[in-house]
Structure 1
């Protein structure tokens, strides 16, 4: 049972799922700590996410300088590469859950240039109690690939937050990034 963001992060790593390389910081992290991260992870844009609470403050597509300034507002946070430059290659994103009876629930979007959080809050496709045993998956570009990934990685019975791209991304250089796993 995954009860919080910390446990989700642990499970993503344990299962070897594709994710963004990220580094955790706290309010006690020094400027040298942050600069060391930026020297090892050189990207045009970064994201910063509050890790102290579920659905914490999230900033998207920020420069190094903007992240340094924003980091002063957080107690516990992560910094990672922004996929903003891959946005034009987005296929599908959102959250999906397939339970043990293969009933699917999903909030999905194929709108480019928005964060996964916005995609889940304002889905283009909203599926509820969709029986995958009785019906073939809906004709939504990329959905079949996401369902296959969930099955292959034994992610049945949990909510999977993801983004699917036409290009390889993340630490495993796969087309799908898993942002979070939830049972709560």
Structure 2
């Protein structure tokens, strides 16, 4: 019974991935900091391959005064539809401004991010709750997302029509999983 439940959950998760990744291509999203220990988050409006990308975080007075340490969890996704594993990066503090600079990977589409606060009492919080799907996102100056592209990147190959590769794999995997589940019954 446990295996069947796990299989159904995995099937549903696989089928929802295309919908989660299809949210507003080319539109940056910001982390809502209202009511949090974060006073502000500043990022560039666009990211560029090989060019420094700096994020800055300012904490509220209370959070800044109690020994809070700030981490930037970042995930870079590239134009082929692949996202690299998230990285947890410890930010450095200078006069109340926490910052970190990275160099985006070649052919990146966007940078996903969230902010992790580690408090002096050994507890932590992630902003926003809900992961990268609701987190901050900064799009590249040359991006491809499914059949759409944007920015200033000259000629970029965009798939026209048909089922995109990742979608086809998800559908095939879902059907195979459904066949295995049906066969067990």
Q: What TM bracket, shorter-length normalisation?
A: under 0.3
* Rg larger in structure: 2
The structure that is helix-richer by fraction is 1
TM-score normalized by the length of structure 1: 0.26
* TM-score in terms of structure 2 length: 0.26
